[in-house]
Amino acid sequence: MSAVLAKINLLKAYEEEQANRQLSLAALEELVSKLKALGCPVLDKIEKRYADVSESFAGLSAAAAAYKADLDECLSKHKALDEKRLSFAKRAEALNRWVEEAVDAMTEAVEADTTAECDAADAELATIRAELAEKHTECASLAEFKAAMEAEGAGANPYSRFRIEELEASLAKAEGAATQRVATLALTREKIADLDAQKKQFAAYAEELLAFVRAEKASLEAKTRGVVIHPDDAESIMAGKDTLTWLTEYASKAPERAAQLEPAQRVSDLLMAAAEMDNPYTRQSIQSLKSAVDQLEKMVRDAINFVEGQLARAQASITPAQHNELQEAFKHFDKTEDGTLNKLEYGAAMKSLDFEGAHIETEFAKFAKEKDVTGYDGLPTVEKCIDFDAFMTVVLQQYKDKDTMEGLLAAFRTLANGKEVIQPDDLKGALKPPDAAFLVERLPAATDGLDFAPFAKQVYGDGVPIS
């Protein structure tokens, strides 16, 4: 087109020159008229020459007009091709820009935490893939457009940096990104579904654990409800010991109860690793579940402390030496070495400990349990026996019964030779120095010695020893 414009500019210069020459032709015509008036002898030749010049000038003018028309037509053709080149460039640029944006959208990281967000991403991808089909059609149209331009002699396109092959390669890249996006979203859905299943599983484990804790608490409450151990009731003491034995065994199974947390802990660890903190299916967390189990174990410890405290208040305190003495007595009379005493063995053991009376036999009947044994005739029979725990309960109750204010007063009177006051030397002679010094310091002085009655009342009060 620049070559055509250059020729048009050259033609304009020629036309200017032609216009100047047109003035010379008019002057020549005027000169011929003057010569004709003067009767020039060679006028015929002059007129012929003028006619030839006029005819040639007219031919040149016609040729210039035709040439100008050809140039205008060529320029118009080149302008039309240039507009087509520019149109191709704009369409190619728009197509490439859409492909780049689509590829960026389809290759960015998927940030979807819910199925709804996956649905939204799928809808966006569906829109892109629908537009991608349209872009393939556009690319084919551009290829046809380019071929038509080349057929018209368009040649190279200075406005466009894209070739049809490059655009087709970009579209193929977009197709690959779309396919990969489908796979990525499918994996994301699987991950969300798996996490959702884990959350449901944790909620189910949490409910199972809480139900287990509730059941265990109910069982514990039922076992310890109404446990009252009376100091003068050996049967309630024995029941308290049975309860304490059950509680102690129950407490030993704390690791088994803690193991109930393991399924929930395992799922919780997986959710924590995935940074999934919210669970729409439960308000529980692994910390709250651990707290529930800890509360159960605290309830067990409190129950043990409660029963032990009641037993301690209901039973007489004995020294380790006394406990060993009772064990030795029990073993001595346990002739079958099976950890029990029959009625005869029990009576002998109690007598060896200076405990006799009808109430001793009553206590045996209260705590004895039946046991299968072999009789003297070699035949199997059933015999009532008492174990060491029950034996201890009976013995300690006897100690408790003897340990009264009257018993203490009687002991003081024995040391005081039957008097109601005691001399310091009597205490020092009968007791160890620290014990004697303790009593001398605390017994109030009387007219002829130390009065032990106030001390006994202070120790026992209403008859219950002060611990």
pLDDT in tens, the chain (467 residues): 788 889 888 988 888 888 888 888 888 888 989 988 888 888 888 889 989 988 888 888 899 889 889 888 888 888 888 899 999 999 999 999 999 999 999 999 888 888 899 999 999 999 999 999 999 999 999 999 999 998 988 888 888 989 999 999 999 999 999 999 999 999 999 999 999 999 999 999 999 999 999 999 999 998 888 777 776 577 777 888 889 899 999 999 999 999 999 999 999 999 999 888 899 999 999 999 999 999 999 999 888 878 876 776 566 555 667 778 888 889 999 988 888 999 899 988 888 887 877 778 888 887 788 888 887 777 888 889 988 888 887 887 776 655 566 667 777 887 888 888 999 888 888 777 877 888 888 889 988 899 988 887 766 654 444 33
**Most distant CA pair in the chain: distance in Å?**
205
Contacts (Cβ under 8 Å, ≥6 apart) of 279: 199, 202, 203, 271
Contacts (Cβ under 8 Å, ≥6 apart) of 83: none
Task: Report the C-alpha gap between 397 and 237 in whole angstroms.
Answer: 9
Tokens matching residue 289: 């579940």
Task: Report the C-alpha gap between 68 and 72 in whole angstroms.
Answer: 6
Phi, psi of 369 (to 5 degrees): -125, 150
- Give the pLDDT confidence of 59-118 residue by residue, as tens digits: 888 998 898 898 888 888 888 888 999 999 999 999 999 999 999 999 998 888 888 999
- In contact, 244 and 165? CB cutoff 8 Å: no
| Beta-sheet strand order (sheet of 445-446) | 421-422, 449-451, 445-446
Contacts (Cβ under 8 Å, ≥6 apart) of 8: 68, 71, 72, 75
Burial pattern 132-149, b for ≥16 Cβ within 10 A else e, equals beebeebbeebeebbeeb
The pLDDT of residue 419: 87
Between the two ends of the chain, the Cα-to-Cα distance in Å is: 123
Task: Report the C-alpha gap between 369 and 364 in whole angstroms.
Answer: 9
The pLDDT of residue 350: 86
Token pair 């629908």 in the structure block, residue: 130
Helix axes 2-38 and 43-107, enclosed angle (nearest 10): 170
Tokens matching residue 302: 């409190």
Contacts (Cβ under 8 Å, ≥6 apart) of 428: 436, 440
Q: Residue 109 forms beta bridges with which residues?
A: none
| Torsion sign, CA atoms 324, 330, 335, 339 | negative
- In contact, 463 and 405? CB cutoff 8 Å: yes
Task: Report the C-alpha gap between 118 and 181 in whole angstroms.
Answer: 11
Task: Report the C-alpha gap between 457 and 404 in whole angstroms.
Answer: 10
